[in-house]
């Protein structure tokens, strides 16, 4: 089995649990916080053509449809697309939702004003190839916004590993849960050890990649947790703070 297929199979099995978290976000402050954050960095245009890569259960298509933008959401896993369709239908919203490998997009060159993704790039088998594809379908003046974190540096650094273990025990005592909760924790851990991004220092890696590709402008923001997380999430992510890294074509 190719590694990308293994990654796909893993997330097919995690889709239902992941959707439960997205359903909660759609009903609370996360909805407004994330919509405002994305549009703050988006190109100035009344109606944007947006591509949400790794849409999962359709969080971004749902919240950005509130602003009447045209959103296309893609995901490698059919189960994620299934839940995305359900979430959009429940709110009477519309978006094009497709099962597609983000390393090999089927869209024409220069198709989108804005490309976004959240908690996706760390899962990719070949992020360099993916970034090149994303730039290809981005229009001149368009922007790429990537939201992610350095989730697994503790697997490659003993000091970070010790700090991670101590902090996770504190989280267990306070909230009765681990940092990350997955249906197949063992498979998730095994995959994470082999992923390209797991040992990379980010967002510096992404900034270097975007500059090398020819983006006219690159930028990063390491304070987004303060705008998009509640108290418990701030504690859960204290060792792995989220970042935004972006580029303008």
The CATH number that applies at residue 203 is: 3.40.50.150
Beta strand ranges found along 38-194 (DSSP E): 49-53, 70-75, 96-99, 112-118, 138-148
Predicted local confidence at residue 1, as pLDDT: 64
Q: What's the structural domain count of the chain?
A: 1
Question: Distance (Å, rounded) from C-alpha 240 to C-alpha 249?
Answer: 28
Lowest mean pLDDT among 111-115, 184-188, 223-227: 184-188
Full residue range of the structural domain in which residue 221 is found:
1-248
- Inform me whether the pLDDT recorded for 87 exceeds 80: yes
Which tens digit of pLDDT belongs to each residue from 111-152?
999 999 999 999 999 999 999 999 999 999 999 999 999 999
Is the Cβ–Cβ distance between 64 and 38 less than 8 Å?
yes
Instruction: Report pTM.
Output: 0.96
Q: CA-to-CA distance for 120 and 107, rounded, in angstroms?
A: 19
Q: Which of 22-36, 45-59, 110-124, 169-183 has the lowest mean pLDDT?
A: 169-183
What's the CA gap between 96 and 246, in Å, rounded?
24
pLDDT of residue 177: 84
Q: How far is CA 152 from CA 139, 180, 191, 248, in A?
A: 33, 11, 11, 28
For residue range 236-245, what is the model confidence (pLDDT) as tens digits? 999 999 999 9
* 147-181 pLDDT tens trace: 999 999 999 999 999 999 999 999 999 988 888 77
In terms of Cα–Cα distance, which of 68, 59, 47 is closest to 88?
A: 59
């Amino acid at each position: 089995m190719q590694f990308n297929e293994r990654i796909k199979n893993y997330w097919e099995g995690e889709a239902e649990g992941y959707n439960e978290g997205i359903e909660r976000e759609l009903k609370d402050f996360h909805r407004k916080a994330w919509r405002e954050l994305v549009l703050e960095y988006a190109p100035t245009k009344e109606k944007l053509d947006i591509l949400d890569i790794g849409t999962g259960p359709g969080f971004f298509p749902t919240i950005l449809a509130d602003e009447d933008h045209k959103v296309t959401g893609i995901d490698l896993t059919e189960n994620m697309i299934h839940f995305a369709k359900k979430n959009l239908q429940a709110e009477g919203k519309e978006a094009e939702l497709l099962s597609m490998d983000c390393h090999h997009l089927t869209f024409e060159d220069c198709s989108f004003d804005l490309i976004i993704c959240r908690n996706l790039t760390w899962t990719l088998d070949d992020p360099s190839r993916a970034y090149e594809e994303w730039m290809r379908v981005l229009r001149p003046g368009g922007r790429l916004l990537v939201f992610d974190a350095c989730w697994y540096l503790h697997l490659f650094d003993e000091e970070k590993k010790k700090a991670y273990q101590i902090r996770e025990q504190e989280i267990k005592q306070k909230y009765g849960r681990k940092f990350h909760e997955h249906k197949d924790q063992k498979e998730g851990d095994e995959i994470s050890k082999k992923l390209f991004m797991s040992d990379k220092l980010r967002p510096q890696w992404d900034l270097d990649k975007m500059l090398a590709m020819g983006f006219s402008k690159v930028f990063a923001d390491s304070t987004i947790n303060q705008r998009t997380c509640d108290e418990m999430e701030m504690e859960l992510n204290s060792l792995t703070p989220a970042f935004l890294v972006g580029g303008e074509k």
